Structure formats: structure tokens, C-alpha cells
């Protein structure tokens, strides 16, 4: 049994979708960012980083989306969604997801979470970071469009753990000020993802 | 045969050390940041991101340190340095490395690469980011010290791919303005890593 701690409109959706894709038996616990529950002593016991998401498994608690996605895929090997038995293909899957967590998601975070990298009361720098987001997130999506997204899925014909992860980040691109017309493959991928029953179910639960 | 594209004083050292640890047959190509070779058309053909490192394998080119570390470990299964056959242990390894690439390394990058997230000519914001680095990198190392580094190695008794990765980032903590006295376990880990023949050899080659 797996329990996903999630918050709506966060990266937890990627793992939530994957749990649906593999048909996992799982529960969810919603964390309310409006009440800063991610910083509550109770949640910090689950995840001392105070971030979303966390996945409680039989043997302990896991964090970090790239790790959680592989863990879920490896726990449901029949679906083979991480291509883990092919070291080179798996490395490509991992490289894509590492790019999302260390570049794209980080660029995005400078819009709402600039206080991580400058003093929170430095309005000039906070605003400067926000102004750069359309360019930095846009360039990151442009690189994905040009060099990484093989189509129809990220890794080509095979649907993998890269797909729900990209989809989740792509939900925010308009809010980040990125022009969707510049990245038609990413937007088409997002549309096809949004039509999957698994995606619809995970989103419906999070927004209920 | 593997070929590692590296630059001294960058995160490529982590993979370089691992190649030594597993006894891989590998070659290296040095990229000169002083000449901005990482942005040269020739290197951009290898890695369109223009970043370090890249690993050329028989089947193609890999990037992103967390992916490369697992690929090397999976290619030399005897050493079992990623604990990949134990899904939960592997997820812990991966979660640690994902934290390094998406939090610690990102915090560090705000000291020298602030132009990624604000306009390069915005001296106020560039300086504001630099001033925050001792705190943001320091908090990240403090969390590693308190919650993650089991000792003697990151994952406990087993040396894994987490160790060269943490070691490489820990080399920069004084330059980042972090007080080593606050994180004795991290500093002790760094010292023990620096005494390994594999680490000495990789560093000597990079600095030759």
C-alpha cells in the first residue's frame, strides 16, 4: 500500500498520474498550502524538507519526484514504464527527468519562490527573477521541443514516466509567460495527456 | 568504451570518480570554460544544453549527473553501487541524488551563474543572489547532515553513487561561505573521500 502526500497545482500530480497508470492500490493525503501545512510539525516528520510530494511505502518514506517515479515504475514492472532493464534507455529516461527537476522546474520556481535565492524583502530582486521567468522557462521548453521530445511520447513510441512529469510542468507554461505557439509539440503532448482517463482521474481527485 | 567530457571544478568530477571506482575503460575530453568551449558548436553537438558533463557511450550520448551515475553503476553491476536491484534502497539513492541536483547544486549556482535567473546586467539582483548563497547552501548541507547522511557513507555501510556526488559538491562549501564547523559529518565524509585512491586519481587528472 502506498500513500501519496500531495498538494493541488504542485509537482505531486506527476506521481499521482503514474499511480493511476500502473493501477496501484494507493491512498492520498492532501496538504493545504493555504494553511502552510507543508511546514507543519506533522508534515515535517513525513518530509523534513517541507516540500511536496512524499510517498509513504511499506519500508519508509520517499521524496523527490524523479526517485518516486522510478520507484513506482519498478514496483509495477509489468508496465515497464521506466525501461529500467535497458540501461541506456533508462539513462535517457533519467536524464530527461533530471533536466526537468534541476532546470525547468527550478526556472519555474523563480516566479513564486524567489525568496529561496534572495532575501524575501528584496522587492527589486524578487521582481527581477519574475521578469526573467518567461525567458528562462521558455528556453527550457524550447530545448525540450527541439532536442528531447521524440513524439508521440517523450521517449518516442513508448509511454514512460517522463510523460506525466513533462505534462505536469507544461500545465504552468502560460502562467510562466511562455508563448504556447513556440512549442507546438509540447502543447500537443499536453493535450493528448489531458485526454487520458488516468490523468483526468488524478486531476479530478486533486481539484475536488 | 566510455568518453567523459569534463571541465575542472565542475560536477563532472562525480562521474569521473565513479568511472574510477568501477574500473571502467574510459577516455576523457577536457572542455575549457576559460575559452567558453562548452558553448562551441562542436560541444553543442555533443550536448545541446552547453553544460558539463556529457558521457559518450556506444549507443549515444548521455547527460545529467544523476542519470550518468546510475548508467555507469548499472553497466558495472558487480560493484552494485546504485543498489538498483532493491527498489526501495535504489529510490533512497535516487532521492538523495535528486536533492543534490535540484536543491544543493542549484543553490550553489546562484553564486556564479545568477544570470540564468535575472538579467545579466542587473548588478543589484546578481549581488543579492550571491549574498544569499551562504544561507541557502548552508541550509541544504545542514539538512543533509541532520537527515540524510547516515555514515560512514551517505547510505550507511554501503558506498554508493551518492558518495562521489556529495563529495564533489562539498568541495565548494567554503567558497560558498558555509561554515564547515556546522556540518562535521559532511566534512568528515569529504576527508575520507579525498583519501580514496580513485578520488585522488580523478582529481589529479582533471587538474593536470
C-alpha span between A162 and B87 (Å, rounded) = 18
C-alpha span between B154 and A1 (Å, rounded) = 27
Average pLDDT for chain A: 97
Q: Determine contact, residues A187/A180, Cβ cutoff 8 Å.
A: yes
Give contacts of B103 with chain A, Cβ < 8 Å: 49
Name the helix (H) or strand (E) containing A150: none
User: pLDDT by residue for chain B (208 residues), tens digit each?
Assistant: 899 999 999 999 999 999 999 999 999 999 998 899 999 999 999 999 998 999 999 999 999 999 999 999 999 999 999 999 999 999 999 999 999 999 999 999 999 999 999 999 999 999 999 999 999 999 999 999 999 999 999 999 999 999 999 999 999 999 999 999 999 999 999 999 999 999 999 999 999 8
To probe the interface with B, which of A46, A90, A102, A103 has the most B CB atoms within 10 Å? A102
Query: Chain A residue closest to B132 (CA)?
Result: A118
> Burial of B135 by CB count in 10 Å (0-12 exposed, 13-18 middle, 19+ buried)?
middle
Which residue among B70, B128, B132 sits closest to A91, beta carbon to beta carbon?
B70
Query: Chain A residue closest to B141 (CA)?
Result: A49
Instruction: Write the DSSP string, B29-41.
Output: EE--GGGTGGGSH
Grid coordinates of B164 = 562521489
Compute the Cα dihedral for B68, B72, B75, B80 and give only its sign. negative
Nearest to residue A47, comparing CAs of B147, B102, B98? Answer: B147
Give contacts of B64 with chain A, Cβ < 8 Å: 94-95, 98-99, 102
pLDDT digit string, tens, across residues A139-181: 999 999 999 999 999 999 999 999 999 999 999 999 999 999 9
Nearest to residue A136, comparing CAs of B96, B119, B88? Answer: B119
Nearest to residue B47, comparing CAs of B57, B34, B61? Answer: B61
To probe the interface with B, which of A58, A118, A124, A127 has the most B CB atoms within 10 Å? A118
Distance from CA of B146 to the nearest CA of A (A): 10
C-alpha span between B161 and A43 (Å, rounded) = 29
To probe the interface with B, which of A125, A149, A156 has the most B CB atoms within 10 Å? A125
Distance from CA of A208 to the nearest CA of B (A): 29
C-alpha span between B161 and A121 (Å, rounded) = 39
To probe the interface with A, which of B84, B117, B132, B144 has the most A CB atoms within 10 Å? B117
Name the helix (H) or strand (E) containing B161: none
> Which residues in chain A belong to E strands, given as ranges?
2-6, 26-30, 54-57, 60-63
What is the DSSP code (8-state) at residue A37? G
Cβ distance of A106 and B101 shorter than 8 Å: no
Q: What is the pLDDT of residue A34?
A: 86
Cβ distance of A129 and B125 shorter than 8 Å: yes
C-alpha span between A150 and A160 (Å, rounded) = 12
Q: What is the pLDDT of residue A86?
A: 97
Distance from CA of B176 to the nearest CA of A (A): 13
Query: Chain B residue closest to A101 (CA)?
Result: B102
Query: Chain B residue closest to A129 (CA)?
Result: B118
C-alpha span between B202 and A143 (Å, rounded) = 31
Give contacts of B128 with chain A, Cβ < 8 Å: 118-119, 122, 124-125
Where b means 16+ CB within 10 Å and e means fewer, A30-51 reads ebeeeeebbeeeebeebbebeb
Cβ distance of B71 and A91 shorter than 8 Å: yes
Distance from CA of A2 to the nearest CA of B (A): 12
ipTM, two decimals: 0.97
Per DSSP bridges, beta strands B26-30 and B2-6 are: parallel
Grid coordinates of B177 = 561561505
pLDDT digit string, tens, across residues A9-44: 999 999 999 999 999 999 999 999 889 999 999 999
Would you state the torsion angle of the CA atoms of residues B186, B200, B100, A92, taken in this order, to the nearest 10 degrees? Answer: -160
Query: Chain A residue closest to B46 (CA)?
Result: A147
Cβ distance of A119 and B131 shorter than 8 Å: yes
| Whether pLDDT at A3 is above 90 | yes
Residues 6 or more apart whose CB falls under 8 angstroms from that of A12 comprise: A4, A5, A6, A52, A53, A65, A206
C-alpha span between B135 and A114 (Å, rounded) = 14
Cβ distance of A60 and B131 shorter than 8 Å: no
Name the helix (H) or strand (E) containing B186: helix B184-194
Q: What is the pLDDT of residue A24?
A: 97
Share of chain A above pLDDT 70, in %: 100
Amino acid at each position: 500500500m502506498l500513500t501519496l502526500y500531495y498538494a493541488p497545482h504542485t509537482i505531486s500530480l506527476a506521481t499521482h498520474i503514474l499511480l493511476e497508470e500502473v493501477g496501484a492500490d494507493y491512498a492520498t493525503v492532501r496538504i493545504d498550502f493555504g494553511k502552510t501545512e507543508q511546514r507543519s510539525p506533522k508534515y515535517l516528520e513525513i518530509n523534513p524538507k517541507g516540500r511536496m510530494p512524499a510517498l509513504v511505502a511499506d519500508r519508509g518514506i520517499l521524496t523527490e519526484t524523479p526517485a518516486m517515479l522510478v520507484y513506482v515504475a519498478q514496483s509495477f514492472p509489468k508496465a515497464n514504464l521506466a525501461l529500467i532493464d535497458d540501461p541506456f534507455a533508462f539513462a535517457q529516461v533519467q536524464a530527461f527527468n533530471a533536466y526537468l527537476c534541476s532546470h525547468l522546474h527550478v526556472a519555474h520556481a523563480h516566479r513564486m519562490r524567489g525568496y529561496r535565492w534572495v532575501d524575501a524583502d528584496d522587492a527589486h530582486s524578487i521582481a527581477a527573477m519574475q521578469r526573467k521567468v518567461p525567458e528562462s522557462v521558455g528556453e527550457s521548453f524550447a530545448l525540450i521541443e527541439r532536442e528531447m521530445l521524440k513524439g508521440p511520447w517523450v521517449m518516442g513510441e513508448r509511454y514512460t514516466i517522463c510523460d506525466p512529469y513533462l505534462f505536469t510542468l507544461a500545465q504552468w507554461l502560460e502562467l510562466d509567460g511562455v508563448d504556447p505557439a513556440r512549442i507546438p509539440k509540447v502543447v500537443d503532448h499536453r493535450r493528448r495527456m489531458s485526454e487520458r482517463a488516468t490523468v483526468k482521474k488524478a486531476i479530478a481527485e486533486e481539484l475536488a
